[in-house]
Chain A
Amino acid sequence: MTEAHRYTATEILAILSARQLKDGQVVFAGVGIPLLAATLAQRLRCPGLTILFEGGVVGAFVEPGKLPPSTNDQRCTKRANMVLGSTDVLLLLQRGYVDIGFMGGAQIDQFGNLNSSFIGDPAHPKTRLPGTGGGNDISSLTNMIVAMKHEKRRFVEQVDFITSPGFLRGGTSRADSGLPAGGMFRVITELAVFGFDDAERRMKVLALNPGVSREEVQDNTGFDLVFDAQNAITEPPTEHELSTLRMLDPERLFTA
């Protein structure tokens, strides 16, 4: 079996995202891959990872095979330490208790700004998307990991609409706009792991996924990426990572 056939695109997304989390951190996770990846990290090597959900959950331990269909469902509360109101759990971000925010993304640009609101002109949108949910709050107030599919139409030079702020227009524009804390930390796709350079705050390739070339990443991206002279290659998913992930999501709710 070739490397690429051992796992699906969403499986490698979940596994590489889980590797970014550290034991002892407080992570605010959105539904889908973030919820799954945070739960995976908890099972694999971070038993002391505290997962928050916007429904009001502090310290979730989601049950295998019982993934919640949203972060506002009762399943999110299983074995949690506490339930709060939604506003109060979001205020934990503002106070600074959250180390990492973790979300999916529909469209992202070179400065890590995310759009989940409009395709086209907001006054007369071609497509009205679902909107921010907690995304704007999370990305405004903490360090972000974004896990998303890598397609040219999703990786654009400038998003149609900044729903969830990354580094806005780069440089110091984020802090200048009243967002002194947090910012984009990592973007994880099925092709590579990205960070952002310190000065310009543009998206930068940190490591290529196994079997992926620089050209493939650049060809699937709508703006010029920053590359180091020598790129690191990510270790492929282990059998243990894959089997644990599949145990958590046996119905492939989020890893189709």
Chain B
Amino acid sequence: MTASGVTPYAQLRQDLAQRDKSLREKVVTLEEAASFVPDGASVGLGGSTMSRTPMAMIWQLMRARKKGLTCSRSIISTDGDLLFGSGICDHIITSWFAQGILWGLSKVMRHHVENGSANYEEWSHMAVGMRFRAGGMGVPFLPIRSMLGSDVLRIRPEAKEIDCPFTGEKLLLVPALNPDVALIHVQRCDAYGNAQMDGLQFMDIDLAMAAKRVILTTERIVSNDQIRRAPDQTKIPFFCVDAVVEVPYGSAPHECYGLYEPMMKHMSQYVAQVNKAPVEGMREYLEKYVYGPASWNEYLSLIGLEEILEASQRGRSIYND
């Protein structure tokens, strides 16, 4: 890694040359997938805000008591709270960090950032996207025309202002971001990792291309024949993917397009609890919902059948005319 945080091209190529890119089955358990994420890793998170959050994988990383992770995401929500609150991550790269617009500021984020125990590295939304895109393109930077003149740039010395060699205009170069591991939740994929996403893709395709490893969690594993019947729906190719975990409701309590909307009762209860007591409230939440349950299914049953059914009914209604 260079001083700018950009991975040297030779290193990127070498890492990829050593990856097993063959068409092979990669289905593992959540516990096994967590072993792909070493302490101190840079972790890219798929989805955005309350949508297609790789929550089950984050949940498993907290249970595995990971340490020193740096996480990047387009926009981060309660998953960012959990990452800071559990102590597994002390640095988040994103453009917006709160539980959701309905609830105002995140007291959990504020607690950890204002007391200096964690760092929220702010970039513009497009800058985060162009950093993943540069990473996915195998170039060290991309030029953009936002952030210029603002204080968002003033506190981001990693970005470089230049005069365009063709036009002389001011442009901003944002450095490539190639996370060590990407965690992406999708509606379906096959055992090889050919992933199909419905609805909003956010930055996930660039993230998958940029990352040095990709762990997919999926609502369901389908056959390779089924993937091949609609290859135009495949958004992430198998050779980017290192592990596949089947986790129904793997984004809960956030949404997964076409399947379930956010579980708002659980979300509101969570926000009330942790914003009232960012440390103690979070500790109790983690005990009850993260460390306590024997399995992801047991966690889901704590959220409750009624709420999950309501969220599913709303989720599926997107396809109603």
Is A163 an interface residue, CB under 8 A from the partner?
Answer: yes
Question: From A106, which residue of chain B is reached at the shortest CB distance?
Answer: B105
Instruction: Provide the residues of chain A in CB contact with B171, threshold 8 Å.
Output: 178
- 1/0 per residue, CB under 8 A from A, across B126-145: the answer is 11011011000000000011
Instruction: Provide the residues of chain B in CB contact with A165, threshold 8 Å.
Output: 148-150
Instruction: Check A131–B94 contact: CB distance below 8 A.
Output: yes
Instruction: Check A85–B202 contact: CB distance below 8 A.
Output: yes
Instruction: Check A91–B97 contact: CB distance below 8 A.
Output: no
Instruction: Check B125–A137 contact: CB distance below 8 A.
Output: yes
Is A177 an interface residue, CB under 8 A from the partner?
Answer: yes
Instruction: Check B202–A55 contact: CB distance below 8 A.
Output: yes
Instruction: Check A87–B126 contact: CB distance below 8 A.
Output: yes
Instruction: Check A74–B199 contact: CB distance below 8 A.
Output: yes
Is B287 an interface residue, CB under 8 A from the partner?
Answer: no
Question: From B161, which residue of chain A is reached at the shortest CB distance?
Answer: A178
B33 to chain A, nearest CB (A): 25
Check A77/B200 contact, CB under 8 A, given A127-B114, A129-B105, A131-B122: yes
Instruction: Check B102–A174 contact: CB distance below 8 A.
Output: no
Question: From A178, which residue of chain B is reached at the shortest CB distance?
Answer: B170
How many interface residues does chain B have, given as a range?
35 or more
Instruction: Provide the residues of chain B in CB contact with A177, threshold 8 Å.
Output: 148-149, 170
Instruction: Provide the residues of chain A in CB contact with B74, threshold 8 Å.
Output: 86
Instruction: Check B125–A130 contact: CB distance below 8 A.
Output: no
Which one of B13-21, B24-32, B44-52, B292-300 is at the A interface?
B44-52
Instruction: Provide the residues of chain A in CB contact with B145, threshold 8 Å.
Output: 94, 140-141, 178-179
Check A72/B200 contact, CB under 8 A, given A127-B105, A178-B145: yes
Instruction: Provide the residues of chain A in CB contact with B281, threshold 8 Å.
Output: none
Is A73 an interface residue, CB under 8 A from the partner?
Answer: yes
Q: 8 Å CB contacts to B: which residues of A121-150? A: 122, 125-137, 140-141
A94 to chain B, nearest CB (A): 5
Of A75, A125, A136, which contacts B150 at CB under 8 A? A136
Instruction: Check A127–B110 contact: CB distance below 8 A.
Output: yes
Of A69, A90, A94, A117, which contacts B125 at CB under 8 A? A90
Instruction: Provide the residues of chain A in CB contact with B225, threshold 8 Å.
Output: none
Question: From B144, which residue of chain A is reached at the shortest CB distance?
Answer: A94
Instruction: Check B202–A162 contact: CB distance below 8 A.
Output: no
Is A9 an interface residue, CB under 8 A from the partner?
Answer: no
Instruction: Provide the residues of chain B in CB contact with A122, threshold 8 Å.
Output: 151, 155
Question: From A87, which residue of chain B is reached at the shortest CB distance?
Answer: B129
Check A134/B124 contact, CB under 8 A, given A94-B146, A127-B105, A128-B114: yes
Is A212 an interface residue, CB under 8 A from the partner?
Answer: no
Q: Is the interface of A mostly helix, strand, loop or mixed?
A: loop
Instruction: Provide the residues of chain B in CB contact with A168, threshold 8 Å.
Output: 149
**Roughly how many angstroms separate A70 CA and B110 CA in the complex, as a whole number?**
21
**Roughly how many angstroms separate A141 CA and B152 CA in the complex, as a whole number?**
15
Check A130/B106 contact, CB under 8 A, given A70-B101, A165-B149, A178-B170: yes
Question: From A86, which residue of chain B is reached at the shortest CB distance?
Answer: B202
Instruction: Provide the residues of chain A in CB contact with B149, threshold 8 Å.
Output: 140, 162, 165, 168, 173-174, 177-179
**Roughly how many angstroms separate A93 CA and B151 CA in the complex, as a whole number?**
20
Residue from A32, A70, A86, A125 with most neighbouring chain B CB atoms (10 Å): A86
Of B130, B155, B172, B200, which contacts A83 at CB under 8 A? B200
Question: From B163, which residue of chain A is reached at the shortest CB distance?
Answer: A178
- 1/0 per residue, CB under 8 A from B, across A8-48: the answer is 00000000000000000000000110000000000000000
Question: From B109, which residue of chain A is reached at the shortest CB distance?
Answer: A128
Is B218 an interface residue, CB under 8 A from the partner?
Answer: no
Instruction: Provide the residues of chain A in CB contact with B97, threshold 8 Å.
Output: 130-131
The 5 closest A-B pairs by CB, nearest first: A87-B129, A177-B149, A178-B170, A133-B96, A178-B148
- Other A-B contacts than A137-B125, A162-B152, 19 sampled, CB-CB below 8 A, are A54-B125, A55-B48, A69-B50, A70-B101, A72-B49, A74-B261, A75-B261, A83-B199, A83-B201, A122-B155, A127-B105, A127-B114, A128-B120, A131-B122, A140-B149, A140-B150, A141-B146, A161-B151, A178-B172
What is the interface of chain B, defined by CB distance below 8 A to chain A? Answer: 48-51, 74-75, 94-98, 100-102, 105-106, 109-110, 113-114, 120, 122, 124-127, 129-130, 132-133, 144-152, 155, 161, 169-172, 199-206, 255, 257-258, 261-262, 264, 315, 318
13 contacts between A and B (CB under 8 A): A55-B200, A74-B257, A74-B318, A85-B202, A122-B151, A128-B113, A128-B120, A130-B97, A136-B146, A137-B126, A162-B150, A163-B150, A179-B148
